[in-house]
Each structure stands twice: as structure tokens, then as C-alpha cells.
Amino acid sequence: MNPKFYRLRFFALFAALLFSFPVISAAQPANANEIKKLPPVHYIRSRDYDMRHNALNLKFDWEKEQTYGTATITLAPLVPNLKIINLDAGLMMINSVKLNNGTVLQHQYDEKKAV
């Protein structure tokens, strides 16, 4: 190909970048106060189990702004003889905890930590 063609192509690209740079560098939101900040970082806590599945069966009472239902959580222990499982159940009232076969398990719910 003709070297003159490459020079012309180079200068055309250079001119396009040169003229678009001020537009790109001045791009800002209309109001600097409207810039949204990222939410705080939430680290995943280490656990002694692997949560395999979480199924929710919910009913909504829109007038009372409440939800009723069940959560079925399938877990796989990562340590032998797993005895305690801590779940984050913010603002939920837990009535019972059962195994898949229906065996009722002991549970504690600290409402102070729920908020």
C-alpha cells in the first residue's frame, strides 16, 4: 500500500482523538452532588456448612405490611458433628425449626440481634 495512505490515516485518527479529548475529559454529571456512592462492603462470614438450596413459600398481608410463610434451607455440613447453625434472620419471627423428616429441633432467636 501507499505510505501516503498510512500517513493520511494516522493524521485522521490523531485529529479525531485530539478533538474528542476535551469532550471526554469534561464529561461530568450535571450536579456533582448527584454522584451516587457505593454501598459499604459486606464480607461473607465463614460458616461450618454449605447452603445448597433456599426455597421460600410466602404469603403477603399488604394491609399489615407483613409476610407469612416457610423457608426450607438445604445445608451440607463442612465439619463433622455440626451442632449449631447461625442464620441471619433480620426482623423474622421463627416459630419452629425442623429436619426434613419432621423432627423438631431446638432453636434460639435473639430479637436484639435481629435489628
In 1-115 the beta strands, taken as DSSP E runs, fall at: 49-61, 66-77, 97-98, 104-105
Q: For residue 73, what are the β-bridge partners? A: 54
* Residue 71 near residue 54, CB atoms below 8 Å: yes
* Residue 44 near residue 68, CB atoms below 8 Å: no
Q: What pTM was computed for the model?
A: 0.51
Residues 10 and 61 in one domain: no
Nearest-10 Cα torsion for 77, 78, 80, 84? -60
Residue 39 domain-assigned (yes or no): no
Number of domains in the chain: 2
What residues have CB less than 8 Å from 86, skipping those under 6 apart? 47
Residue 61 domain-assigned (yes or no): yes
Residue 44 domain-assigned (yes or no): no
Q: How far apart are CA 27 and CA 62, in angstroms?
A: 44
Domain assignment of residue 104, given as a range: 49-114
**pLDDT tens string 46-105:** 888 888 998 989 999 999 888 888 888 888 899 998 888 887 777 777 888 888 888 998
pLDDT attached to residue 22: 61
